[in-house]
Amino acid sequence: MPYLDHAGSTLPSKTQLEEIAKLQSNLILANPHSHHATAIKTQQIVNSARLRILRYFNTTPDDYFVVFTNNTTHGLKIVAENFKFGEKTEDGLVSEISTVLKGGSSNFAYFHDSHHSVVGMRHVVNGKVNAISCVDEKDIWEDNTPEVTNSLFAFTAMSNFCGKKYNLDGIKKLQEKGWSVCMDAAGLVSTSQPDFSVCQPNFIAFSFYKIFGYPTGIGALLVRKDSAHLVEKTSFAGGTVQSVDEMSLFFILREFERAYEEGTLNSYGIAQLQKGFEEVERCGGMQKIQNLTYQLRCKAVKMLASKLHPNGKKVVEIYSQPDCQINPASQGAIVAFNLLRIDGGYYGYTEVEKMCAIFGIELRTGCFCNIGACKKYLGITSEMIRENMNKGKRCGDEIDLINGRPTGAIRISFGRTSTEQDIDALDQMIDTCFVGSDRSFSSGPKALKLEAYLPTVVNLFSFPIKSVGSVPKERYELTARGFKHDRDFLIVKDDVTLNLKIHPELCRLTAIIVNDDSLQIQTFDQNDNFVIPMSLSLKENDAKVVCKKTIATLDCGDKVGKWLENALDMSNCRLLRVAEESKKNFVNDSPFLLINEASVYMLSRHINMEVQDILTRFRSNIVVRGLPPFIEDTAKRLAIENCEFEVVDKCTRCEMICVDPMTGEKDPSLLLALRDYRNKQKMTFGIYIRQTNFESGQILESGMPVKFFTE
Ligand SMILES: *Cc1c(COP(=O)(O)O)cnc(C)c1O
């Protein structure tokens, strides 16, 4: 699957998870606060994990404490809560954020380009500080920045918005001016391995899933040993005290790390960290991952920058530092961008995200919890934020454009498992969905093989009456001949089977099975309907020949016959049902027809017809989402959960797809589009499949994952 959200969380590898499962199956741990042998073993595992972490960052237990946390946010909060800001000289709360670094005592500062978890620290420290400043990197390097005491700078090492890496020499510079520096390393560690023997922030917070994907819910706060006195823990909890009296205010905390690790640690998770470090080593080390992901980022930027509309206007607006400043030391594996319409206006990021979902591409959209970077790169002002909020804009919602301006961006980010094909898949999606308006088919670059995608079922249809319309249902029971009741019925006129090709009037009807016990036929305008209980005993009838098959049928009686004659404006109509004992039903070739939503989308864009409209015309049973267009043509087998299918054939299309199901009129554009796409080859769309492991009681449901195989 083209996964382009490694900055959100990188993914654990299969080997890593298998190693962890092996480890876990023989691992019995206990509460490390107890004193028995298993507790001592647990304590040792935790301590050895601390050493492993320090070694990874090229430092030692002489230099840093390792406090286990839940995540980066938790580590930052511990620093904010416990940092000793000293004597506060100004009364009351700080009510305005300064744009310059202030001198004196008890200040707090951070970059504009900071994660909300960093910005949020200001509300923890407000009340203890004289000034709060929000600055740019260059402000650190001003010669006239004043000296401070008892002050804390929350330093973002790498922007999670655009991947800009901040110059870590700035940390030393700040320390020389008297600042204590707390590094938010969450972004940086995802594709880099900072050396904390060279750059020595007083505090460093990060989460492990950003480095190797699993375990989640564990982070660390590294505290320089000579900075331990900068924080003071003024509260305690289970596991953190040496001595306490519940009846007085007396308590004595344990040694540093234990004093900050409140409650019981996630010792199983901590034991699994070693498998994460081994995973990084298996990939050749973080330096290699940094180089690989940096190269991929360059390739992606090149691809995006080269996209032009037919009128020569660019398709992609990239948010990044100037090209000339970029190298692996200054830039991580992230690209933030928005897409532009042919007239220069913006596409909303929600629309892009929806197309990605159809094509099976996973990336992130929005502001990524970094409002400062969003404002800077998107040109949003503080006033606009308030105004947008009044218009109903909330973090994570689908309001992606306000007055034509984007409220967020699209972010792709790379990790150790990323490949060039991930970029190709994005390339193809942008070409297909967002470039140009000349509506020509672009074949696009070769994306990944079918096996690499993880599509899901989005729609399931059964057609109780052959050639009559239907509505999708969430869930169907399987039978040996397809979905239960699929094409169990058929309409004849003068004993001849009606089909859509010759009788487009059939599209005036829809049929569904209600509550599994009755067939409901409805006119398209929903003004009239007819219900037949499935239990109705029917008169035996002559065997009918349908599509060259002879099938035993039952006649459903005069009443429904009359109703059909009326609805279809036709004489001598009868509704027939396949006889129970028949092994066959009225399905043409194969029990199921499967189509790919992205292929539908591709045609829809080409001829300006609604996806839903095209879906109705293709009369498929199973619609899958999460594949690039037309890649389903390469499938040989597939599995939907535990149901296995083989591909019988491709579905060759005829003028039937030209019938507008609303009006019954024929309009050839869809067929012509398919012809253009197939370019002189057979006009197929969708694949016929047959189940190979049928057992009664199996069901298919929308949302189920689909696994395809090309051999
Ligand atoms: C991911 C991230 C965070 C937040 O990490 P959590 O694990 O959610 O606490 C903070 N800052 C940056 C730069 C990040 O990338």
* Model confidence, pTM: 0.83
For domain 452-459+590-709, the CATH superfamily is PK beta-barrel domain-like (2.40.33.20)
CA of 186 to the centre of ligand 1 (A): 5
Q: Is the pLDDT of residue 371 over 90?
A: yes
Q: Are 213 and 65 in contact (CB under 8 A)?
A: no
Ligand 1: atom nearest CA of 7 is 15
The amino acid that residue 279 corresponds to is E
Cβ–ligand 1 distance for 207 under 6 Å, the answer: yes
For the chain, what is the largest distance between any 2 Cα atoms, rounded to a whole number of angstroms?
Answer: 100
Distance (Å, rounded) from C-alpha 625 to C-alpha 359?
7
At residue 491, the 3 state secondary structure works out as: strand
CA dist 635 → 249, 374, 450, 531, 648 (Å): 71, 42, 7, 40, 10
Pocket lining: 71 vs ligand 1, CB cutoff 6 Å? yes
Q: Name the one residue in this structure whose structure tokens are 């990336």.
A: 363
Q: Which residues are catalytic?
A: 369
131 — phi, psi (to 5°)? -150, 150
Contact, 484 vs 477, CB < 8 A? yes
Of 399, 349, 375, 467, give the one whose Cα is nearest residue 162.
375
Q: Does the C-beta of 117 come closer than 6 Å to ligand 1?
A: yes
Which residues make Cβ contacts (< 8 Å) with residue 19, sequence separation at least 6? Answer: 275, 278
Domain boundaries, the chain: 31-282, 287-438, 452-459+590-709, 461-578
Provide the mean pLDDT of the chain: 91
Write out pLDDT tens, residues 498-531.
Answer: 887 788 888 889 999 988 889 999 987 778 889 9
Cα 493 → chain centroid: 51
Name the β-bridge partners of 134. 110
Write the pLDDT tens digit of every residue in 217-253.
999 999 999 999 999 998 888 888 888 888 888 888 8
pLDDT of residue 118: 98
Here the tokens at position 524 are: 């398209």
Candidate from 10, 69, 72, 218 with most ligand 1 atoms within 8 A of CB, to mutate? 72
Q: Residues in the chain, how many?
A: 711
Q: Which of 5, 210, 212 to mutate to test the pocket of ligand 1 (most atoms within 8 A of CB)?
A: 210
Closest ligand 1 atom, CA of 209?
A: 7
Helices 597-607 and 349-359 cross at an angle (nearest 10°) of: 130
- Report the distance separating Cα 16 and Cα 278, nearest Å: 8
Question: Of the residues 6, 10, 73, which should be mutated to test ligand 1's pocket, given the most ligand atoms within 8 Å of the CB?
Answer: 73
- Of 24-38, 268-282, 461-475, least confident by mean pLDDT is 461-475
- The residue among 672 and 649 whose pLDDT is bigger is 649
The CATH code belonging to domain 31-282 is 3.40.640.10
| 10 Cβ inside 6 Å of ligand 1 | no
**Ligand 1 close to Cβ of residue 43 (< 6 A):** no
616 in ligand 1 pocket by Cβ < 6 Å?
no
Residues of the chain with pLDDT > 90, as a percent, come to 65
Residue partners of 441: CB distance under 8 A and separation at least 6 = 602, 606, 676, 677
Same fold for the pair 31-282 and 287-438: no
* Domain 287-438 is found in CATH 3.90.1150.10: yes
**Between 175 and 90, whose confidence is greater?**
175
Beta bridge partners of 366: 409
Whether the pLDDT of residue 146 is over 70: the answer is yes
Cβ atoms of residues 490 and 543 within 8 Å: no
Residue 77 CB–ligand 1 contact under 6 Å: no
Q: Please give the distance, rounded to the nearest whole angstrom, from the Cα atom of residue 221 to the centre of ligand 1.
A: 13
For residue 539, name the pLDDT band (cuts at 50, 70, 90).
Answer: low
